[in-house]
Structure 1
Amino acid sequence: MRDPEEIPAPTNPMAVARYLAPQWRNENGVLTLRHWRTTWMFWERSYWREMDDQEIRASLYKKLEHAEYVAGLDKDGHPVIKPWAPTKRKVSDLMEAISAVTHLRPSVDAPEWISRDGLSRDSEHSYTHGVESPIVACTNGLLRVQDRELLPLTPGFFNLVSVPFDFDPDATAPTWEQFLKQVWPDDENSIAALQEWFGYVLSGRTDQQKIVLIVGPTRSGKGTIARILTNLVGKGNMAGPTLAGLATNFGLSPLLGKSLAVISDARLAGRDGHQVVERLLTISGEDTIDVDRKFRDPWTGKMPTRLMILSNELPNFGDASGVIARRFIVLNMEVSWLGKEDTDLTDKLAAEMPGILNWALDGLARLEKNGHITEPPGSADAVTTMQDTASPTSAFVRECCDKGPTHEVLVDDLWDAWKDWAEDQGIRPGSKAMLGRNLQSVVPQAKRTRPRDDSGRQIPTYSGIGLKTTARNGESPDSTRLKGYGSSLSRAETGLSPLWAQQSEAPKCSVCNFPFEPLEPGQTAHPGCEAA
């Protein structure tokens, strides 16, 4: 049995915390245990991981089980030694004191330097300026991407991601590169985008505010790509939520401390759509969010999680503004190996992880140079489709309307055009008020006004938007369903004075003497007046 250890009394938890603190420091005196955003973080030699409260409690109980303290002096002046005897109350008070000793300010966003740990300030600043010179942690050092130089591993670099293998500058990945050429045989841009995405996830950056969506048939390689990226960042740094799960009360808690979230087989229930969209926008947009956790205090901060969604088809997000669609980089797959899968492929690729790391670092270097992730040509079309699916109002505006300060349209005319367009698209038009709300999301500059006509009657009007003279309707560019609404400026015969005419010296129609905007040089009358 070992000799009891004499430590400060439990009535002075701060003294006990400072007494124990040296066991949480490295050889240079840098703390390896930090309390950050109500969470315990422990340095695992190459990255910081989250520790559960119970893990801290267990270590303290074990440490203090045989400890003793001086409770005072007896009548003869000799010290009175008593067992420390850890209890729930004593340990809780001690944990509170340790959190103060190891406190790391909440404003720290990983990855970030919190201590030089023997490095000079000049050398530290030369490679820690966020997106300019990222660092990738490996098991054999901190890799400076700028010049591929390995720096010593240190808890002074607060990072949540580390690749679980050594950096080898000469490693290659021929099987991986051949696999990608089979997945995208004629699409080098998709391969480039994936390469940059891998490097982006490794770097810890979130500034691109993008979500990668991989769409393809069964057995097209989506799962293989996700497994390789998971191996690259380490399984402990990856979460696997569902879209529906994100909408639940504690749906975001599994993402805390994770650098990557892979959502496989994306399915979305209609009633949860709005909350899922809100949370996807918040995570990808680097916004501060409160995350509820079971039996623990809420966590507040910016989540460093990058999102990758795998699906057999384009998901349908209910977003009136269509903003969520523009967050995506879409990689389309067309080749399927159903029935002819290579069951050993994952093992073959696992052997090439150091080479895949170099491949990803090349992508990160290109991202550093270009400033944005490559967008494959097919991605823009997919994003437009998703935007139109999420927000039919966005599709209607693109097909049937013109935008700008000189455009305006009667509210009733726009409503009639929308109803006809919606009928052709097979969707419910909703109400006039709902159209106005959705229109405000898609065209923020569109304002509803009530100018007066010559008789003084107020006419509800939208300014900043107008109907095209010949609006396209569905798949039939020559459709006449919307013809006749025309642009708002061609409806001066109604007696309504357009806003632009009220605000400027507008020319007068030579037939009706009403203000109008010439559409062609030399035009002197409204087209309708000339036709009459």
Structure 2
Amino acid sequence: MNDDDLLAEQVNDVFATLTDITVEVGNDTRRVSGPNDPYGVAKMLATYGEATGHPFKSCDERLYIYTGTYWQTMKKASMRSRIYEFLDGRPYIGSKGLPEPWKPNPGHVRNIMQALEAKVDDSDVSTTQEDGAIPVSNGWLIPATRTLLPHTPDRFNTFTTAVEFDPDAPEPASWLKFLSDVLPDEDSQNLLAEWFGYVLSGRVDLHKALFLKGAPRSGKTTIATILEDIIGGGATGISLDSLTRQFGMAPLIGKSLAVIGDARLASSNSLVVERLLSITGQDMVQVEEKYMPMFSTRLPVRLMMLSNELPNLEDTSMALANRFIILETRQSFLGREDAGLLGRLRAELPGILNWALDGLDRLTAQHAFSVPEASLEATKDMLRSTSPLTAFVEDECVLDDDAVTPVSVLFSKYKAWCEQGNVKAMTAQQFGARLHDKGIETGQRRVDGKRPRCYLGIKIAEG
């Protein structure tokens, strides 16, 4: 049964219970309220949602229904249709104390929807669990003790893993062999386990994203696919380009993992950088969905980027590169692919889940990811890629407290460096502002009998 079928079944449960109500004149408190009492109808919907085990909840401009294991977004058009169907012709007690048939119109239904959203509003709800519990398909898992608690609507989760927790699942031998082929050093394998655990945990406190870099057919997509298979409905796929679009942030609502399988951009885009920083930094962002009002929220989603090369993203603040932890898959299996590998790995998902929980334990104990030396070097490369000015200073300059260099001389050197490396140069004003951000001040100094404006504390390297 897919999510849409499951949702229809749960809504049917609620409305079937409502349909069984008999309306009588007198003291029957279950009778349907009339058109002048939309909140009364909304309260009935909320009450019978609770009674059937499928309560409603409203937050972030969305209406949710509890499936029995997680909270699923309801399409408001579907809910409106159900309200029309339920009310049409149903008797209510009219102004003269006699039954009258409901004749719902768009205004009635709109008012009932608004009243229902107000009745079940829980705007401050959070998917973060204070006890660190993880929503797996067979319950709420407490990772520290490996114990299971029953599913409950008292916790807010928008997905469960597609895998049951089994403490006795065998060691995932095929998975470990695969990792030894694509990530031969133990530190890199430990980092990946910690990342899997981080995504499972719902944590966002470390403000990190994972960048999987490697040649074609080097295991990047297989790694991402296995994590997506574990996370199930909590995973989605996006492109960097989609983040620049009007509704590009909407697919991230309620998700635990977003895999960016296409990290290519035709040109550097400051909006992409801004949104990557906002998501990983857990800043408030503006989200817009089709036919719905824009709203502000935090998106507790972890980003995982796959690419053969570093993305074309310019970030003079250098913050973006430090948000990414980079893993490189160095061996390509192009032309010698194992067609049965994914099937064998999927058979080991319960064991891979336990492997990820071990990684989460290690991450919790360390308070930081295990970053191998190769990843540190890759981060330096990304810093140079995202901040060409940093690369220029490293390549062509020396920082010296006593150094004095005329503004025009240093900028000319910078422009020549950009032309040689096919890098888009900043204007002189931008160049000066970015150097100022790095602590390089300007002032007039005597040079060759003149007093030009100079950069202080930096000079062009000799040779």
Q: TM-score range by the shorter chain?
A: 0.7 to 0.9
The question of 1:466 aligning with 2:462 is answered: no
- 1:421 Cα deviation after fit: 4.0
Q: What is the one-letter code of the residue matched to 1:446?
A: I
The question of 1:139 aligning with 2:137 is answered: yes
The question of 1:366 aligning with 2:362 is answered: yes
Task: Give a deviation string over 1:271-323, Cα, whole Å, max 9, x none.
Answer: x6222111111111111011122211113101112111111222221223332
CA distance in 2: counterparts of 1:14 and 1:370, whole angstroms: 51
Identical residues among aligned pairs (%): 37
CA separation of 1:295 and 1:166: change in aligned 2, threshold 3 A: same
Q: What is the one-letter code of the residue matched to 1:449?
A: G
Q: How many residues align?
A: 437
The question of 1:32 aligning with 2:83 is answered: no
- 1:398 Cα deviation after fit: 2.6
Partner of 2:295: 299
CA distance in 2: counterparts of 1:169 and 1:357, whole angstroms: 10
- 1:339 Cα deviation after fit: 2.3
Does the CA-based 8 Å contact 1:321-1:394 persist in structure 2?
no
Partner of 2:349: 353
The question of 1:206 aligning with 2:204 is answered: yes
Q: What is the one-letter code of the residue matched to 2:73?
A: E
- 1:169 Cα deviation after fit: 0.6
Does the CA-based 8 Å contact 1:4-1:67 persist in structure 2?
no
Unaligned runs of 5+ in 2: 1-18, 24-30
CA separation of 1:393 and 1:294: change in aligned 2, threshold 3 A: same
The question of 1:52 aligning with 2:75 is answered: yes
Q: CA RMSD in A?
A: 2.6
- 1:3 Cα deviation after fit: 7.3
CA distance in 1: counterparts of 2:50 and 2:128, whole angstroms: 20
Kindly name which structure, 1 or 2, has the bigger radius of gyration based on alpha carbons.
1
Q: What is the one-letter code of the residue matched to 2:198?
A: Y
Q: Which one of the candidate residues 237, 240, 248 is aligned to 1:243? A: 240
Does the CA-based 8 Å contact 1:216-1:311 persist in structure 2?
yes
Q: Which one of the candidate residues 275, 279, 291 is aligned to 2:275? A: 279
CA distance in 2: counterparts of 1:171 and 1:264, whole angstroms: 30
Task: Give a deviation string over 1:440-482, Cα, whole Å, max 9, x none.
Answer: 34x1x22333468999x8642334x3226xx2xxxxxxx62xx
* Other structure's SS at 1:232 match: helix
Q: What is the one-letter code of the residue matched to 1:229?
A: L
Does the CA-based 8 Å contact 1:262-1:307 persist in structure 2?
yes
- 1:66 Cα deviation after fit: 5.0
Does the CA-based 8 Å contact 1:330-1:379 persist in structure 2?
yes
Task: Give a deviation string over 1:398-443, Cα, whole Å, max 9, x none.
Answer: 34445587665432343244345445545454532232133234x1
Partner of 1:97: 115
CA separation of 1:12 and 1:430: change in aligned 2, threshold 3 A: closer
Partner of 2:179: 180
Task: Give a deviation string over 1:148-173, Cα, whole Å, max 9, x none.
Answer: 11122111111234112321111132
Q: Which one of the candidate residues 65, 68, 74 is aligned to 1:42? A: 65
* Other structure's SS at 2:390 match: helix
Does the CA-based 8 Å contact 2:34-2:102 persist in structure 1?
yes
- 1:61 Cα deviation after fit: 2.8
Task: Give a deviation string over 1:64-112, Cα, whole Å, max 9, x none.
Answer: 2453210033xxxxx310122332221110011111110112x433224
Q: Which one of the candidate residues 110, 125, 130 is aligned to 1:108? A: 125
Does the CA-based 8 Å contact 2:400-2:459 persist in structure 1?
no
CA distance in 2: counterparts of 1:397 and 1:437, whole angstroms: 14
CA distance in 1: counterparts of 2:216 and 2:182, whole angstroms: 13
Q: What is the one-letter code of the residue matched to 1:467?
A: K
Does the CA-based 8 Å contact 2:401-2:458 persist in structure 1?
no
* Other structure's SS at 2:339 match: coil
CA distance in 1: counterparts of 2:110 and 2:400, whole angstroms: 63
CA distance in 1: counterparts of 2:266 and 2:448, whole angstroms: 51
- 1:360 Cα deviation after fit: 0.8
CA distance in 1: counterparts of 2:78 and 2:349, whole angstroms: 32
Partner of 2:441: 447
* Other structure's SS at 2:344 match: helix
CA separation of 1:467 and 1:309: change in aligned 2, threshold 3 A: same
CA separation of 1:404 and 1:232: change in aligned 2, threshold 3 A: farther
Q: What is the one-letter code of the residue matched to 1:162?
A: T
* Other structure's SS at 2:95 match: strand
CA distance in 2: counterparts of 1:428 and 1:219, whole angstroms: 32
Q: What is the one-letter code of the residue matched to 1:177?
A: L
CA distance in 1: counterparts of 2:95 and 2:427, whole angstroms: 80
CA distance in 2: counterparts of 1:381 and 1:257, whole angstroms: 34
Partner of 2:8: none
Does the CA-based 8 Å contact 1:215-1:333 persist in structure 2?
yes
- 1:344 Cα deviation after fit: 2.1
CA distance in 2: counterparts of 1:264 and 1:427, whole angstroms: 26
The question of 1:11 aligning with 2:10 is answered: no
CA separation of 1:405 and 1:257: change in aligned 2, threshold 3 A: farther
Q: What is the one-letter code of the residue matched to 2:288?
A: D
Q: Which has the higher contact order (CA 8 A, sep 6+)?
A: 2
> Higher mean Cα deviation, 260-269 or 363-372?
260-269
